[in-house]
């Protein structure tokens, strides 16, 4: 079996960690940096959009986005991402990783800038333009998931592959931080230049006209890091695994990797031709053979990512209540528009700094020691425990003196999401499927995750509403309440723990060993010829 492995792939598997590994992490990771920046920054400016475009004369509170508009602005990018994951995942296997890779980045750059240029005479037209471009921004972001994960897994060595793929994903943490820090800086500058009274003092004067530039600047800056890495993405050679195993060009693969690894590699074209003749690796996605070999692992990767994202994206619901509860964000009417952006950005940045970012890097540090399975199982287990710890004595947490405890447990839940399934669900699908279907299967798994995100972000927005009709947020029907929502999320995390048992461990194994591509060849060769 080992004899079937091409020298070029062996060389990649055993290569020492080199400079090109780090450049690949940065080039692939910048897409995720931009992704996190773009998806995160919109949550910082939605309150401002409400004040600017939905102001009601004489109202006691500042204007807010109506529920349907708020859902569209926040959710349309998620829908675009889901579509992009499926489309570019499939395209990455059809045309090659590299050809499609620059396209996703271009889409992100153009749509980030266009989002900030959303103009119109009415609130509706501005929001419609913004939603249009955010959908296509999401589409580009979606393509980055399967392509970045696949490229990194195909470039990495056996020993540290998990850490490299996780490091690409962990760039999201820096994207979130960058969105928060940049928003704080811009809001501080605007506050110093255009001072305004609080809403309760002067409802109209509290939102300075220049605030319309504030959200546009925050949204558009997301294009800069993506644009900076475009040149380097175009310079990256196609991965050897795609060139040799899918495009069947061993000579090209050997010459590309000789340059990258700076060693001489034999081309072994005859070996590739032999594999082609033997008919190895021919089965497609919708075949009985695929179902037998990879059906359960694919169910494992899709279901765990789906369940994780329901819990992960529902956090946005509780964040605003938590911030208000611990006094980080005062009542909206006591602030002017720019001050509110500053306070929200500061609160979100602190949460990111304390629980989100450290979790990602814990995964990077431990994934190749503990293994993917152990980290995912542990993460889901702790998330289940902490969700129930928040839900069962929920009334206890609502008292003012217990709020800090609530925030600590809440932060731990998301620390273990990131040092747990949020990172591993991204890593594993890039390792366990055959090269010719790797990008497609990763795209399918990621799209299942985004479906979970849509359920988490919107399903729970309605579910978490108070059961009492008089206490619901404006425009919403009564729901099942926050306590019951938290219990439901605990159950979702427990299901994630159970489905983890379908996912195979890939620590320390070569990609061909995991996907069974070497076995396919061995079986074909040992099969009697008619």
**Residue 2 pLDDT:** 45
CA distance 100 to 234: 10
Instruction: Tell me if residue 82 falls in helix, strand or coil.
Output: helix
Question: Which residue intervals of 156-204 are DSSP H helices?
Answer: 161-193
**Residue 248 pLDDT:** 85
CA distance 181 to 359: 19
DSSP letter string, 321-380: HHHHHTTSS--GGGS-HHHHHHHHHHHHHHHIIIIIHHHHHHHHHHHHHH-HHHHHHHHH
Q: For tokens 């931080």, what's the residue?
A: 177
**Residue 66 pLDDT:** 87
**Residue 473 pLDDT:** 72
**Residue 303 pLDDT:** 98
DSSP state of 400: G
| Rounded alpha-carbon distances, angstroms, from residue 48 to 18, 62, 70, 207 | 46, 9, 12, 9
Q: For tokens 């991402």, what's the residue?
A: 81
Give the orientation angle of helix 223-235 with respect to helix 97-116, to 10 degrees: 160
Q: Which residues contact 262 (CB under 8 A, 6 or more apart)?
A: none
pLDDT in tens, the chain (530 residues): 445 678 888 888 888 888 888 999 999 998 889 888 987 888 888 889 999 999 989 888 899 888 889 888 888 999 999 999 999 999 999 999 988 998 999 999 999 999 999 888 899 999 999 999 999 999 999 999 999 999 999 989 999 999 999 999 999 989 999 999 999 999 999 999 998 999 999 999 999 999 999 999 999 998 998 898 899 989 888 998 899 888 888 888 888 888 887 777 777 777 766 655 544 557 888 899 999 999 999 999 999 999 999 998 887 666 666 676 667 788 889 999 999 999 989 988 888 888 778 999 999 999 999 999 999 999 999 999 999 998 888 888 877 778 788 878 888 888 999 999 999 999 999 999 999 999 999 999 999 999 999 998 888 778 877 788 877 776 778 888 778 888 999 999 999 999 999 999 999 898 988 888 766 555 555 555 44
pTM assigned to the model: 0.91
Q: For tokens 């592959």, what's the residue?
A: 161
**Residue 1 pLDDT:** 42
The rounded Cα 104 to chain-centroid distance in angstroms is 15
| Dihedral (Cα; 474, 479, 483, 489), 10-degree rounding | -110
**Residue 405 pLDDT:** 85
Q: What is the 3-state secondary structure (H, E, C) of 429-446?
A: HHCCCCCCCHHHHHHHHH
Q: Is the Cα torsion angle 323, 327, 331, 337 positive or negative in sign?
A: negative
Q: Which of 444, 418, 409, 320 has its CA nearest to residue 46?
A: 320
């Amino acid at each position: 079996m080992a004899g079937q492995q091409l020298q070029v792939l062996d060389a990649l598997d055993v290569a020492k960690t080199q400079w090109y590994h780090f450049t690949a992490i940065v080039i692939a990771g910048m897409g995720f940096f931009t992704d996190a920046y773009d998806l995160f920054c919109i949550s910082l400016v939605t309150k401002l959009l409400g004040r600017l475009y939905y102001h009601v004369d004489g109202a006691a509170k500042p204007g807010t986005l109506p529920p349907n508009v708020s859902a569209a602005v926040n959710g349309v990018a998620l829908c675009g991402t889901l579509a992009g994951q499926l489309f570019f995942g499939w395209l990455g296997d059809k045309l090659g990783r590299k050809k499609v890779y620059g396209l996703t980045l271009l889409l992100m750059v153009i749509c980030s800038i266009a989002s900030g240029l959303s103009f119109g005479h009415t609130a509706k037209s501005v929001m419609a333009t913004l939603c249009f471009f955010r959908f296509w921004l999401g589409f580009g972001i979606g393509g980055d998931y399967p392509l970045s994960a696949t490229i990194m897994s195909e470039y990495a060595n056996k020993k540290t592959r998990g850490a490299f793929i996780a490091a690409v994903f962990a760039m999201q943490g820096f994207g979130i931080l960058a969105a928060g820090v940049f928003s704080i800086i811009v809001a501080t500058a605007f506050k110093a230049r255009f001072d305004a009274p609080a809403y309760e003092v002067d409802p109209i004067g509290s939102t300075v006209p220049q605030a319309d530039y504030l959200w546009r600047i925050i949204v558009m800056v997301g294009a800069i890091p993506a644009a900076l890495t475009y040149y380097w993405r175009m310079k990256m050679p196609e991965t050897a695994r795609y060139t040799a195993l899918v495009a069947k060009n061993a000579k090209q693969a050997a010459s590309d990797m000789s340059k990258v690894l700076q060693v001489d590699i034999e081309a072994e074209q005859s070996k590739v031709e032999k594999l082609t003749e033997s008919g190895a690796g021919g089965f497609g996605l919708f075949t009985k053979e695929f179902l037998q070999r990879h059906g359960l692992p694919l169910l494992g990767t899709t279901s765990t990512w789906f369940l994780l994202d329901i819990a992960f994206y529902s956090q946005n619901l509780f964040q605003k209540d938590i911030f208000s509860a611990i006094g980080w964000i005062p009542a909206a009417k006591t602030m002017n528009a720019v001050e509110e952006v500053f306070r929200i950005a500061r609160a979100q940045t602190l949460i990111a700094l304390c629980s989100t970012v450290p979790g990602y890097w814990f995964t990077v540090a431990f994934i190749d020691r503990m293994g993917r399975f152990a980290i995912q199982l542990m993460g889901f287990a702790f998330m289940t425990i902490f969700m129930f710890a928040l839900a069962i004595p929920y009334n206890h947490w609502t008292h003012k003196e217990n709020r800090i405890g609530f925030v600590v447990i809440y932060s731990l839940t998301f620390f273990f999401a990131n040092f747990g399934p949020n990172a591993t669900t991204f890593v594993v699908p890039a390792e366990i499927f055959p090269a010719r279907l790797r990008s497609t299967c990763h795209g399918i798994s990621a799209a299942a995750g985004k479906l979970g995100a849509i359920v988490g972000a919107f399903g729970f927005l309605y579910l978490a509403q108070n059961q009492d009709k008089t206490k619901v947020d404006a425009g919403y029907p009564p729901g099942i309440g926050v306590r019951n929502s938290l219990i439901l999320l605990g159950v979702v995390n427990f299901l994630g723990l159970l489905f983890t048992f379908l996912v195979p461990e890939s620590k320390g194994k070569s990609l061909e060993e995991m996907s069974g591509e070497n076995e396919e060849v061995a079986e074909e060769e040992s099969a009697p010829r008619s």
